[in-house]
Amino acid sequence: GDKPRRAARVANKTLVSFVERNIPSLNSIQDAIHMLIAALADAQLAIIDGPEETWMGGKTTANIGVLLEVDQAWVEGNIINEVNDIQTEEFHNTIVPSRWVFACANIGDCKVLHFSKDTKTVFDITAISRSNYLDPTDPGGRLGPYKGLWPDTRNLAAFWIPVQEGDIIASMSDGVHDNLDPQIQGLSPSTFGSDAADWDSAPKDWVVATKQSYLRHFSEYLIGGDTFTPQHIKDVMITHCARNTERSREYLSTNPSNRTPGSYADYPGKLDHASFCCFRVGEMNEKTRLNPSVNITTSHIGFSMKDRPCIPKKKSIDDVIAMVKEDLTRFAVRKAQCQDTSKPEPFPISVITKEPAGGIRKRIRSVRHSEISMLSPLRSAQILKKKNFSGKP
């Protein structure tokens, strides 16, 4: 409608303007997180500005992110101080210092994916933002008047992740990532080995684990292994959305006054606005602008990658389903182990009660290589305590 469209345009303009004004003053990643949250607050004020907008204004979801260059001198100095403490069994949990860090703040159902150029794997940076995996109509939060002047902040969150030169970051609306959902693609829980009759009757933690795992592996399947550019990733994602919704669109084009009949199995896909923004990590110059492709190389870092193998170039949907089942098997084992020892379940992770990590190994720990890597992104505001770990815009 007109009001949500107006709210989205106001938010977009305000967010970009706020970041452009404040990014030169950043000295740390935590500064960046604070700036991004403040940008969302500024956008909220802009949306409700005026008597009509206060009570009748539109609402919009929003995601804003920045790519930061890390101060390598400080990182290297602190690693030298702690190198003697690194234990062999912990080494796979220790991140190799990166030159780049991506930070973002999110409210609503936008999603940001990280595509690794070395492992060709996909990581959902904003995985914990979706509060209801069974109801795609609930965004979980939004800017605009919700309770009086206040926005709906149920899933307001900020994230950061170290990234490598040549990696690709993609931000997308729910019109894109909902079509990566197995339920919306028409698959049933039985496809993944569940006895549940439908998604509504399946255990909630199993549903969340299945959908997050499927999104990652299915995205890896879509991008393939030959071409790794922002243009390619954008093209395959949008093309998939068009194909996934084809049957529903054909029905509605001939029956414009009707709703789509039947289930997702009969009419798969979610019809929604599909917005997709994709960029390559690294400095932009004339060469990279004209030729944005990067070399695909294998990582030779000393820690084990057995939990996240480099996917083969040729892959089928059956392979995707098999990998999701493997993830679910590991999830069930870890869940049982945690219950046996009276520890919190490995998923969903409690980001509210998580103790702040200390030391550089823990503060910049790679969640993708940790024991609960399959399902547990960390909310950055919980673990960033020292302002010395700086980023330069």
- Report the candidate in 338, 373, 384 with the shortest Cα–Cα distance to residue 92: 373
Strand extents, DSSP E, the chain: 62-70, 100-107, 111-115, 122-124, 142-147, 150-152, 157-163, 168-172, 276-280, 391-392
pLDDT at 78: 61
Adjacency order of strands within the sheet including 391-392: 157-163, 100-107, 62-70, 391-392
- Count CA within 13 A, CB hemisphere, residue 273: 10
pLDDT at 339: 72
Residue 190 DSSP label: G
What's the average model confidence in pLDDT over 163-168?
Answer: 93
pLDDT at 224: 86
pLDDT in tens, 25-58: 988 888 999 999 999 999 999 998 855 555 566 8
270/184 Cα distance (integer angstroms): 7
Percent of the chain with pLDDT over 70: 67
pLDDT at 193: 94
Residues 72, 98: contact at Cβ < 8 Å?
A: no
Banded model confidence at residue 130, pLDDT cuts 50, 70, 90: low
Averaged pLDDT of the chain: 76
For residue 2, pLDDT over 80 is answered with yes
What's the average model confidence in pLDDT over 171-197?
Answer: 94
pLDDT in tens, 276-324: 999 999 876 655 544 444 333 222 222 233 344 444 456 789 999 999 9
Banded model confidence at residue 64, pLDDT cuts 50, 70, 90: very high
95/369 Cα distance (integer angstroms): 9
